[in-house]
Amino acid sequence: MPHAIHPLGAHVLFQTRALDEARDRVARIFCPHRLDALSPGFDARHHHLAGERLSLNYIEYGARTRIAPGELGHFYLVQIPLSGGAEIRNGRSLYLSDPGRAAVLNPHLPTDMVWEQGTRQVLIQISRRAMQDHLAAQLGGPSDRPLTFAGPLDLTAGPGAALRRLVLWMVGEADAGAPPIGAGLMARQAESTILSGLLEAAPHDHAAQLGRHRDAPRPRHLRLAEAYVEAHLDRPLTLEDMAAAAGVSPRALQLAFRDHRGTTPLAFWRDRRLTRAHDDLLSGRGSVTEIALRWGFSHFGRFAEAYRSRYGLCPRDTLRAGRG
C-alpha cells in the first residue's frame, strides 16, 4: 500500500472540525452514536468506498475521542489502527487495539470505545447478513446462534498478518485508481476472501465447528435429513419426521447435526425457514403476517425475535427496505 497520509483519498466523505457534523455524517454510513471529544484538536475525516457486502473506510478524529454506538445492529466492524490505538469494550470484552491488534466489533453486543489522540484507522464494515451467510456456507448450513468474535485480532503473525496485508493492498489498489470492490465477479471474490480471512484469523465461537466441518465429510443420513427439510420447509416437522426420512434414530440425527453443523435438527429447520422468510420480505411477497404464516411462524412475537437475532433488524424494516 502506498504510504498515503490519508488512505482512500479519492473517496472522501467529509473533513470537519465540527463535532456535531462529524457525528451526523459518520452515522449516515454506520449507525447513530454518541461522540465526545476528550482533548483539544478535534479534526475529523472519513473516507468511504462501498462494495456489495462490505465497505472500506478510513477515519481519524485528531483529538482523544469517545465513540459509543451501543449495538451496531446490521454490521460487523473491523478496525485496523495505522497509528495510535483505542480502548475497546464490546459486550463483556475489554481490550486495547493498536497497530498490532485489530478490534472486531460484534453487531449484537453493545460497543463503547475511546480512540487515543492521533489515532488513524482503516475500518472494514461487513454486512451482518453477509457474514452469517458466509459462515453458513463454510459450515454447510446455518448456525443456531449469531457469530461472535472475541477479543483483539493479532495482526503481527499468521492469518492475522495476511489479512492485514490483504486489506491494505485493497486500500492501495483504491488509491492507485483501481478499486478492488464494487461490481463484478472479481470484486465479489475479493470480498469473499476478506470474509474467509476474518473467520480464519480472528478468535470466535464457531472456530471448532469450522475445523470439524473442514476435516470430516457429511454423513449420508445428514445429507438426507437436510434434503428432506429443504423439500418440506412449508410444513410442520418433528425430529422424528427428519430421522425417519434419514433412516436413523432421532439421537443419531441429533449427534450428526451437532458434530457437523454445530446446531440441532429443529434449529436447522427453523433457520432455513427464516432464510426463506427473509427472501420473501426483501422481495415484498406479501405482508409480514402473510410471510410469517407461509413459512410456519404462527407466533409473531417469537418470529420477530428470532428474525432480529439473525438479521439485526425487524421483519417490518426489511419489508420496507425491499419495497423502497
* Residue boundaries of the structural domains of the chain: 12-210, 217-323
The answer to whether residue 259 scores a pLDDT higher than 80 is no
Summary mean pLDDT of the chain? 90
Q: Domain spanning 12-210: which superfamily?
A: Jelly Rolls (2.60.120.10)
Identify the residue whose cell numbers are 483504491. Answer: 174
Identify the residue whose cell numbers are 471448532. Answer: 208
Mean pLDDT of 37-46: 97
pLDDT band at 234 (very low <50, low <70, confident <90, very high): confident
Q: Are 25 and 14 in contact (CB under 8 A)?
A: yes
More confident residue, 171 or 317: 171
Q: Are 271 and 142 in contact (CB under 8 A)?
A: yes
Mean pLDDT of 60-82: 97
The answer to whether residue 3 scores a pLDDT higher than 60 is no
Percentage of the chain surpassing pLDDT 70? 95
Return the ∠ at Cα 73 (arms to 81 and 264), rounded to 5°.
110
**What residues are paired with 103 via a beta bridge?**
79
More confident residue, 140 or 153: 153
The answer to whether residue 2 scores a pLDDT higher than 50 is no
The answer to whether residue 215 scores a pLDDT higher than 70 is no
For helices 250-261 and 265-283, give the axis angle rounded to 10 degrees.
60
Helix, strand, or coil here: 106? coil
| C-alpha cell recorded at residue 131 | 457474514
What is the reported pLDDT for 291?
92
H helix or E strand, kind and range, residue 95 = strand 93-97
Return the ∠ at Cα 198 (arms to 196 and 201), rounded to 5°.
110
pTM: 0.69
Q: Are 34 and 19 in contact (CB under 8 A)?
A: no
Q: What span, in angstroms and rounded, lies between the C-alpha atoms of 33 and 27?
A: 7
| C-alpha cell recorded at residue 148 | 461472535
Q: What span, in angstroms and rounded, lies between the C-alpha atoms of 313 and 220?
A: 36
How many Cα neighbours within 13 Å face the side chain of 298? 3
What is the reported pLDDT for 275?
86
The answer to whether residue 274 scores a pLDDT higher than 60 is yes
| C-alpha cell recorded at residue 133 | 451467510
pLDDT tens track for 89-105? 999 899 999 999 999 99
Q: Are 194 and 77 in contact (CB under 8 A)?
A: no
pLDDT band at 213 (very low <50, low <70, confident <90, very high): low
The answer to whether residue 30 scores a pLDDT higher than 80 is yes
Q: Domain spanning 217-323: which superfamily?
A: Homeodomain-like (1.10.10.60)
- Identify which of 274, 313, 314, 310 has the alpha carbon closest to the alpha carbon of residue 295: 274
